[in-house]
Chain A
Amino acid sequence: MKAFLGWLDARTGAVTFARRILFDPLPGSVGWRHCWGSVLVFTFLVQVITGFFLLAGYSASTQTAWESVYHLQFETPGGWLLRGLHVVAAQAFVILLGLHLMQVVIQRTYLAPREFTLLLLLVLIPLALAQSVTGWLLPLDQKGYWAARVPLNILAVVPGIGPLLQQALLGGPEVGHHTLTRFLALHVTVLPLALGVVLAVWWYLARRPSPSPVGTVSAGKTSWWPEQALRDAVACLAVVVTLLLLVVRPGFDGWGVAFPELLAPVDPVEPYSAARPEWFMLFLFQFLKYFPAGSEVWGAVIIPSLILLVMAAMPWVGRWRLGAGFNTAFVLALGLGAVVLAGLAFREDRHNTEYQAARRQAHTEAARARELAQTASGIPETGALTLLRADPLLQGPRLFARHCASCHRYEGHDGLGQVPTDPPSASDLKGFASREWLTGLLDPLRVATPHYFGGTRFEEGRMVRFVQKDVAAFDDAQRANLAKVILAVSAEAELPAQREADLQDADAIAAGRELIRTREMKCTDCHQFRVPDEDAIAPDLTGYGSRAWLVDFVGHPAHVRFYGRRNDRMPSFRRDEILDEHALGLLADWLRGDWHRPAPAVVATDQPTQRQE
């Protein structure tokens, strides 16, 4: 062994080098406060190691980025832990860097000849932030996309090269394949290499024997191994344990979302009002709020650069007694300012109901995206976004809120859970064409309420009059017949939720179909049913509430088959090209409750229910 080491050392000097690292006297004393260097290097190494394994499962393109991360996190055992470690360690690195920077300034470790202790830390900060921005885009979920979008846009306000730099980073006019490949290339090669080199130089310089900062030359007597090494190792172990605890934490945020977050794949044409940067950048986000349009360059570029410049001058300013005091006050003020700004941002968001709703919506969509990706047919090669865009449960409420909720309601809200300020002026469509809904419509007490015809021009129309006069006077036999008519009309819709009930009541439904045409029930006085009727003035009952019926009705309610000239304010969505066939289909499917439901999972009953619907 000795001979081999001698042979190796004669050719490479590796053994001598290792000996120097391990056994040369340290420049200062041994102590816990000297662990910072090793801890920072170690946190960086955690990133390198977890990063390699993440890269081994990542696929950079707009159709595979989210999909590959989804596969890692939800379909690969332990994938969430790997990704969680990477995410948490990234945040820890920034925090440790900031804290250590304050320590260096307050303890004046930056004094000559150790100026680089501080200067190199200042170089690490922008590198670490760049890692954060490039890393967050890669999963291409809503959060990452918007968190990366903002710095990219800020880049464009840099005078001169800004727009060019932005264009080059995007790799095209919009975020696309090339944005991901470019961000990935930066994130896994140039940036970590630069970080690694700077860290190594910084670490080496800290170990280099030199006069101690205070001036008295005190070459220590103790070597790194084993005393300081033991402290460093224990500190690193503490860091790892903390990271693990942060990853494994139970769903503290109440939404029961998996950690680390993976929101739904981003749809760049849909707004996302919960866009926020990572929490340690919240102070910058808040800071930018105070700069009116046109002056963002000050908040985003000029002032941060000036702050870095002031800090870079600290080793020289700190030579004077007053200067050192200024330096300490400056970093403390910076730290305090960041905490206060982040606190303000946090508080504003807490009281911002729109933001809270957007966040809830984002989590609902994330859970739904996961459900859709887990179907037997899996994720199509066109990407998971295809599934989301074709999902009635996701798109229906959006379409309803945007196009219907100015008059209609869905269970009292706009489809997305918000209650519009203006009162409803048309029916509530939750459960449209279901037995319950029709029973209410034919209830003398309810037909003229805002839930049905109240608020429309039909409030005093023939249907309301029929229900309030004729139906109210029905005897028991007639009422029993009406119940069969309701079953029959509702069966026309073929609602998925009523499939079993419709099968069970087949006889009553058949009887009801006959009753619809009787003089007693009067339906066909105004409606047509199965048999074409040119005199019909009210909506066709044939296929009432079915998908095709709804698509036709919403597409053109003023068609003679429906309300004809008597149509109230409802727009002809298809005829006037407000919505296309695809969107109408999604809306109809959603109203009919016709969407993919995951097979009921075998859930242990003693598990706390984390999601509230």
Chain B
Amino acid sequence: MNSAADAMLVLVLLLNFFVLGSSRIRSIIYTVAAQGVLLGILPVLVHGELGVRETIVSVGAIALKAVFIPRMLMRAMADLPIRREIEPLVGFRLSLLLGAAGTGISLALAARLPTAGTTGAQLLVPASFATILTGFIVLTTRVKAITQVLGYLVLENGIFIFGLLLLKAMPFLVEVGVLLDLFVAIFVMGIMINHISREFSSISTERLSALKE
């Protein structure tokens, strides 16, 4: 048993519900950042020691997931007139229900899968699946580009949790996973462009190219 890690994973799961139920984009960004901090602490708890690998992954995760990307998103928010996700394709209450169902299914599914027994934490696999599902729900049911990016971040957090299972055996694959964050950073630039285009499409697209070069 690894109760500290499991407790941390329960917190991660709770934050998933925050993301699903909130309409204020700012608070979703804070929630995702908080999740990033928790994920950063997890490698040390799961493996119960502070080796070089764990430190690299921890520091990298916190720097990217909890500081760098949320900051970029906040800066993007400052330039935008949007504050809330107003008309999601699926309502907040329904998406909470979907999230609850997803978490239940993940727990049931994970109980059936064989484990390698590399870590003491019981909740790693179900928490990872549930977080991935949460990310999917947000990605597919929200219409604002910035919320979609947040959904993608949650999805990726889920994958990160799964990666912890393999941190000892296959460090390369896990470290590569952190690269996915870099990908997101570039992705975030895409979102700004997207918004600029939305802003200017009503005026003239020439303004857009004037801005670009």
A, B assembled together: no
